[in-house]
Amino acid sequence: MLIGIGCDPNATTLKDAVADYLRELGHEVRDFGSDDPLYPKTAIAVAESVAAKEVERGVVMCGTGIGVSISANKVPGAYCALLTDAYQAERAQLSNDANMVAFGAQVTGVESVKRLVREYLSVSYVENERSAPKLAALYDYETENTRV
């Protein structure tokens, strides 16, 4: 799987460790960098690539993960979940079809993030499950309210 990854300078060490881990798991990684202190720019670049299906999934990071998740979710077609535990990592995909995840380098350790990424990537959304009507409502809202 081709995975886009990016962060702000606060999360460079975490991003590099996660990128290496993704490669160890057999994934290709497109690194969007970590030099820009304005995290929305990097998060949006990753999200646009995910939404355009240039990469299959995205991983973004900043100090808390909150800023990059908010930023990524501004891009139509990008659905970013901020993860802090294994159950969320699994449900981000199974219940919410999240195509991106976010982490906070100052609040979640490297080994925990590796486990969360592994959990997130280990499952796939199954259409027509109990979450389908919820996601349909979300997608309908996005379609009706996105300015072109």
Q: What is the pLDDT of residues 92-130, one digit of tens each?
A: 998 899 999 999 999 999 999 999 999 999 998 877 677
Q: Give the pLDDT score at 32.
A: 97
Question: What is this structure's pTM?
Answer: 0.92
CB atoms within 10 A of CB 133: 10
128/50 Cα distance (integer angstroms) = 23
Q: What is the pLDDT of residues 58-89, one digit of tens each?
A: 999 999 999 999 999 999 999 999 999 999 99
Q: Among residues of the chain, what percentage have pLDDT more than 90? A: 78
24/46 Cα distance (integer angstroms) = 21
What kind of fold does domain 2-145 have according to CATH?
Ribose 5-phosphate Isomerase B; Chain: A, (3.40.1400)
Quote helix, strand, coil % in the chain, to nearest 5. 50, 15, 35
Catalytic residue among 43, 45, 62, 121: 62
62 included as an active-site residue: yes
Q: Give the pLDDT score at 148.
A: 63
Which residues face 5 on adjacent strands?
A: 31, 59
For the chain, the structural domain boundaries read 2-145
- The structure tokens 């449900």 sit at 91
